[in-house]
Structure formats: C-alpha cells, structure tokens
Amino acid sequence: MVNEEDFEQVLNRSEQVYPPKEFLKKVYQCLANFYRIAVGSNMLSSFDFEWNEFAKTYDLGILETFYALKVLEEEGFIGLSESFYAPSKIHFRVDPARLYEVQIAHAKLDPLIKLLLRTYGGNLFSEYIKIQEPKLAKSLQISEDQLIKSLQLLAQFEVMDYDQRKDKPQLTFLTPRYDAGKLPLNLKRIEQRRELTIYKAAKMVEYARQTRICRTQYIQEYFGEKTDNSCGICDWCKENMKAQDPEGTESKFQSRVIETLTESGELTLQQILEKLRVPATEKNLNFIRQLQDQGLITLHQNGKLSIHGHE
C-alpha cells in the first residue's frame, strides 16, 4: 500500500533528477580534479570510476551526484559504462537458520555475512539487492579481491546467488576537457526534460490518488481516448462493485458459475448465462472474467469454459 509520504517522495525525487546548472558544473570540475585533467586535454580517455567514492571525496550528495552524472552523459560530455548502471547483486538462497549454521561452520565468512545483514537487512532473503564491492571491502578492511573471493565462496556453497558485475565501471571523457565555468550546457533542453520528468511524476501520483474513474479509463483519458467501459478488474472497479453489491451478489453469482461448470463440464459463455438464467450484462461478464483472472476457470481454444484443470 502507498501513502502520502510515498507520493511526496516520488514528487521530490522527480525535481532532483535534473540538478541546477551550478551543481552540474561543480561535478564536472570535481571530475577534472579527481583525474587531474587539464583544460583541452584527454578527449576519449577512460578511467575506473566508483561514483560513491567520488562523491564522498568531494563531499557531494550521493543521489544528487548520480543525477548530475546522468545529465552530463545526456549532454555528451562523458560516457558511463554499462556496469555503472548494472552493479553486482546478491540474494540469500537459504533461510536464516541455515545461514547461521554456515556462519558457525565457516568462521572466516562470519564477518562478511554479518556485514551484509547489517547493511541490507532481511530483504536479502526475498529479493536481489545491489551491492558495491569496494564499499563492503573497505568496511571489512580487506582488499576488493578478497571480498569477491568470499562472495564467490558463498555462491559455491549455494548459500547465496552472486550476480557479479561484468567489469569495473568506466567513465570516459567524450570531449576535450572544458573549463567548468564555460561548460556549454544546453540549458533549454535540460529545463524541458526537467519539466517533462516532473509532469510525468505528477501524473503517476495523480493516477494512484484518483478515485473518480476506472484505472484503465484514466489511462485512456491520458492518451486522449474516451470510453464508458470500465475494466472490471482494477482496484477501483472492485471497490465500486463491492459498494454496489453490499449483499455479496458477486460471490453468489461466481459460486453458481463454478457449480454449473462442475456439473456440466465445458460450456460456452452463452450456455452458462442461459443455465443461470441471467442476461449478458457487463457486470455479469466481469464476474466471469474475474474467475478467469483468478485461475479458477479456463477458456479453451474451442471457445468453451471449464473448471481449471478439467479436460
């Protein structure tokens, strides 16, 4: 479930995606300082690049720096390798009890496992989490190579999936280095993209907040299309049907459909409606579609419906 804090976060984040020109120039200058590049030199030169380390070196905001780098890339001043956007990912394949057994049996891996749990929490057991090997190695006061070997060992023990990035992130200067104060940013284009990003975020929040029409109808409205037909399966439609059906007509109707198919085997939609002696209204058709969406009944190639699993 989303709440107003989530909405505010989305809106605030959209405003950060295109940082002010002063910050863009500052990040560009810091890059030149970081690699000691003189004005007019180093066109197409590539360097290993860890953006977290870079941001920390110059006391720059991590997220704001990430967005600034993306804008500098969009503007054609720098190029960022695929591994910049695709860092390594890990996921624990075992439950906490089994993981604890591994910590006891392999004491050398215990500090790493504790650090991973402390840093990324219980989400490691349910999803793939992006990691930064240099940062973890620094926390453990070991080399990055040692850390990678330990992660690979956990993967060999089938304790963890380790989707290692292909190579170190690379940053390439696509032009000779500019004087940061005279960096030829296309401010009009940047502002247009900024406004579009904020507009899209606002529309996404409006989509989630709105309660006046069906979600599908709202999307069609967004693209300039109009329809009076609701989808019957989104949260708005379901809540609307509940409000119009306080006595559980939907549940009773669907139970009758299942009973009819159980007794008769395969039937066409029209045959079902005839046996139930009900009209082919949008409401009744939606009730039957919901049974399909829930996997309770199956539509076969011959156009007939049956209980799921019935041949």
pLDDT tens-place string over residues 195-243: 999 988 888 888 777 777 787 777 777 677 777 777 777 777 777 766 6
Does pLDDT of 25 surpass 90? yes
Looking at residue 310, what is its pLDDT? Answer: 58
Q: Which residues pair with 45 in a beta bridge?
A: 173
- Other CB atoms within a 10 A radius of the CB of residue 252 amount to 12
**Does any domain span residue 206?**
no
In a domain, 219, yes or no: no
Residue 69 pLDDT exceeds 80: yes
Q: Does some domain include residue 288? A: yes
Look-up: residue for tokens 């605030």?
A: 12
Main-chain dihedrals φ then ψ at residue 148, nearest 5 degrees: -60, -40
> Could you count the other beta carbons within 10 Å of the beta carbon of residue 61?
13
77 and 181 assigned to the same domain: yes
pLDDT tens-digit readout, 231-286 = 777 777 777 766 665 556 777 888 888 888 888 888 888 888 888 888 777 778 88
Q: Check pLDDT > 60 for residue 89.
A: yes
The Cβ-side half-sphere exposure at 256, using a 13 Å CA radius, reads 15
Range of the domain at 157: 89-163
pLDDT given for residue 246 in this prediction = 53
* The pLDDT of residue 189 is above 90: yes
- Lowest-confidence range among 50-54, 75-79, 80-84, 167-171? 80-84
Radius of gyration of the chain (CA): 28
**Domain's final residue, options 118, 146, 163:** 163
Same domain, 120 and 154: yes
The residue out of 138, 163, 188 marking a domain boundary is: 163
pLDDT at 86 over 80: no
287 and 151 fall within a common domain: no
Contact 29, 180 (CB under 8 A): yes
Q: Is residue 18 part of a domain?
A: yes
**CATH code (residue 263):** 1.10.10.10
Domain count for the chain, please give it: 3
Q: What pLDDT band is residue 59 in, cutting at 50, 70 and 90?
A: very high
- Note whether 76 and 94 are same-domain residues: no
Q: Do 149 and 82 form a contact (C-beta atoms < 8 A)?
A: no
Report residue 2 as tokens: 């989303």
Are 68 and 14 part of one and the same domain?
yes
Distance CA 112, CA 125 (A): 16
Residue at 227 is within a domain: no
Residue type, 281: T
- Does the structure show a pLDDT above 80 at 79? yes
pLDDT at 65: 92
pTM for this prediction? 0.56
CATH of the domain at 132: 1.10.10
- Strands (DSSP E) found in the chain: 45-48, 78-80, 89-92, 129-130, 160-163, 170-173, 297-299, 305-307
Domain identity same for 9 and 154: no
Measured between its terminal Cα atoms, the distance across the chain in Å is 39
Same domain (yes/no): 185, 136:
no
| Bridge partner residues of 172 (DSSP) | 46, 79
Tell whether 11 and 77 lie within a shared domain: yes
**Average pLDDT of the residues in 40-51:** 86
Kindly state whether residues 11 and 79 are assigned to the same domain.
Answer: yes
Q: Please provide the average confidence, as pLDDT, over all residues in the chain.
A: 85
